[in-house]
């Protein structure tokens, strides 16, 4: 019994950081549409084609990366404006 408890505990600890699809806050409707956490339609099947969940996840990751890059550029611009470099002339 003790070995079973130890092995199941180790398994649950090992699997704890893994995310599941509901953890990504997406919903799948009856018609095959994928809805994001904010209520936007991420994919809607057309003419019998199914939604490619891998492509959706890649698109979301790219959007997140682009947003982070834009925020970093905006922060750099604010810092550059707040702390202008001064030139010393001889």
* pTM, full prediction: 0.44
Top-confidence residue, 25 or 6: 6
Q: Which residue has the tokens 């969940």?
A: 53
Strands 34-35 and 41-43: antiparallel
The number of angstroms, rounded, from the C-alpha of 72 to the middle of its chain's C-alpha atoms is: 17
Residue range 28-44, pLDDT digits in tens: 778 878 887 788 888 88
State mean pLDDT over 44-52.
80
């Amino acid at each position: 019994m003790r070995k079973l408890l130890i092995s199941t505990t180790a398994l649950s600890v090992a699997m704890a950081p893994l995310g599941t699809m509901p953890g990504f806050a997406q919903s799948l409707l009856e018609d095959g549409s994928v809805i994001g956490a904010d209520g936007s339609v991420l994919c809607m099947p057309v003419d019998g084609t199914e939604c490619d969940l891998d492509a959706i996840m890649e698109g979301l990751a790219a959007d997140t990366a682009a947003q982070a890059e834009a925020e970093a550029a905006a922060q750099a611009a604010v810092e550059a404006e707040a702390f202008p470099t001064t030139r010393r002339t001889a």
